Amino acid sequence: MIISMTGFGRGEASAHGVTAMVELKTLNSRYLDVSVRLPQQFQDKELQFKEVLAQHISRGKINVSMYLDDKEFQRQAPVVDAQKLANYVQILREIQTTIGLEGPLELNQLLNFNDLITQPEPVQDPEHDKLCWSLIQQANAIAIEKLMDMKRQEGAQLEADISSRISGIQEAIIHIQQTTDGRAEDLKKRLQERISTLLDDEKIDADRLEMEVALMADKMDITEETVRLAAHLKFFMEAIHSEEHAGRRLNFLTQEINRELNTIGSKANDSGIAHEVVKAKEMLEQIREQVQNIE
């Protein structure tokens, strides 16, 4: 069973007024690339978080979005710095006296000073941090499960599509093999006849002619290529149904299949075979595009 590299999963976990939410979005990538920013108090757990993802995902770019709502526990209400307020009031009144302005101070004049109201640092509580990290892990586990479900569903669709195209290439091989059955002897016979009509019989070395004709026929023989091509397609289908991640192997096999098709097309010297090769290569190109989405 193959697995798609693209998918999305969202998980949420709550306890004691704290909510953790994790969203995972995966995209195509040659290697495993995890992009995540943990809350400040959990920066030292980034490697642990990535290792958990790596246990389920072998390659692809993973974008992690995380939200932790624990304001009830860790956030204190904003406070006014009374000393700074008194200092700014005194400064503003001195300015009024200096330039001769009268009237009371306006509140909006004081609110222009951004450092009057401050947000206290979160309260450090090891037990609370332990709770938050546990909720993040739970949310991540749920997100991974949903992500993998989606990746498997898309993988099943990819498998069905690729399998049908592989079947099309196998049919093309059958037609090619039917065309080439007995072709070597026929080629040798035709070459001998053409050469005989072009040369004076008295000047022909029969043994040398036989050898040259055999060499030319051998160069045009595609039996070996069709056998290798059939084997590559067999390995391709085995990889699709394997329990292991098959993306890299499938990518390699598409290159090998393409190489054999090119060789068959160049050696065949037959319009019918060339037509089958073109059809097979069209299907292979579609397979190659799909393989790029497989983990």
Write down the pLDDT at residue 215: 62
Are 13 and 61 within one domain?
yes
Residue 289's identity, in one-letter code, is E
Confidence of residue 212 (pLDDT cuts 50, 70, 90): low
Question: Is the model's pLDDT at 184 over the cut of 80?
Answer: no
- What SS3 class is residue 127? helix
Are 180 and 69 within one domain?
no
Lowest mean pLDDT among 6-15, 113-122, 159-168, 256-265: 113-122
Are 111 and 243 within one domain?
no
Are 206 and 102 within one domain?
no
Are 20 and 103 within one domain?
no
Question: Is the model's pLDDT at 14 over the cut of 90?
Answer: yes
Confidence of residue 122 (pLDDT cuts 50, 70, 90): low
Are 131 and 162 within one domain?
no
Are 285 and 157 within one domain?
yes
Asked if 159 contacts 12 with a C-beta cutoff of 8 angstroms, the reply is no
Asked if 135 contacts 14 with a C-beta cutoff of 8 angstroms, the reply is yes
Has residue 63 been placed in a domain? yes
Q: Domain end: 109, 136, 151, which one? A: 151
Q: Are strands 60-69 and 32-35 parallel, antiparallel or unpaired?
A: parallel
Are 91 and 211 within one domain?
no
Has residue 1 been placed in a domain? no
**Separation of alpha carbons 14 and 128, rounded Å:** 13
Are 102 and 12 within one domain?
no
Better-predicted residue by pLDDT, 99 or 218: 99
Has residue 49 been placed in a domain? yes
Has residue 235 been placed in a domain? yes
Are 240 and 171 within one domain?
yes
Are 110 and 232 within one domain?
no
Lowest mean pLDDT among 108-112, 120-124, 200-204: 200-204
Which among 145, 135, 173, 130 has a CA at the least distance from the CA of 283? 173
Domain that holds residue 196: 152-291
Are 190 and 263 within one domain?
yes
**Separation of alpha carbons 203 and 288, rounded Å:** 54
Query: Per the structure, how many domains does the chain have?
Result: 3
Has residue 100 been placed in a domain? yes
Has residue 48 been placed in a domain? yes
Has residue 2 been placed in a domain? no
What does the pLDDT look like over 53-110, one tens digit per residue? 999 998 899 999 999 887 655 556 678 888 888 888 888 888 888 888 877 877 777 7
Its pTM stands at 0.67
